[in-house]
Chain A
């Protein structure tokens, strides 16, 4: 079955760049859309953005100036970079598959999530 697994540092210093990778197994990343979402006690679930395997992206405007999502089809991975982080970026970060059906889209498969803390 399709599985997603996040990886990356759990601690990032303020003003630095948060970098996470999501490895997809059980399916080719070239089949569609892939997303990043984060969850924090203060802001609940927040959509960060998504990428199509071809490289086209869609970002949350509230984060757009700091976010880059990229894809590496050779490794079946996609990645998140969030620059100039502050304590407000401390959250549980999830990667997920965005599936389209009956004209609608939904996050049907999620990774287990990885906690990232921003602190000096």
Chain B
């Protein structure tokens, strides 16, 4: 299985900050990388697919980049509703696997 490792595991930031979360795959996955946001008590919500493509309806303050093994999710200016847990997921090969999550908390 392809292992997905996110860093950091948790992050404290303030409204208005620019934040970057990193995801590393244990082998090359080209650009087959998705990002999800999960708020407490709700299902994950797709933000970014194919490493850099913004899902319809998602704010443009979210962006993704990377290819191969190293990927980043950037939130350009944090809003109160962005405090949540973020997961990366590879869609290169089966089984699809997820990162362990990055919890973004209010400083």
Contacts and interface: CB of A to CB of B under 8 A. Distances in A.
B31 A104 contact: yes
Interface stretch (B16-24, B40-48, B76-84): B40-48
A101 B53 contact: yes
A106 B91 contact: yes
Interface in A23-52: 44-47
A120 interface: no
Nearest to B45: A110
A104 B98 contact: no
Interface size, A (range): 20 to 34
B34 A106 contact: yes
Contacts of B87: 44-45
Given A44-B100, A102-B53, A107 B46 contact: yes
Interface residues of B, number: 24
B101 A44 contact: yes
Query: A-side binding surface: helix, strand, loop or mixed?
Result: strand
B49 interface: yes
Nearest to B94: A58
Contacts of B94: 58, 60-61
A107 B34 CA distance: 9
B95 A60 contact: yes
Contact of A104 (B44, B45, B91, B97): B91
Contacts of B91: 104-106
Contact of B96 (A44, A47, A108): A47
Contacts of A112: 42-43
Interface in B42-69: 42-46, 49-50, 53, 55
Contacts of B32: 104-105
Interface of A: 44-47, 58-62, 94, 96, 101-108, 110-113
24 contacts: A44-B100, A45-B87, A45-B98, A45-B101, A47-B98, A59-B95, A62-B95, A94-B43, A94-B44, A101-B50, A102-B49, A103-B50, A104-B32, A104-B34, A104-B49, A104-B50, A106-B34, A106-B49, A106-B89, A108-B46, A108-B49, A112-B42, A112-B43, A113-B43
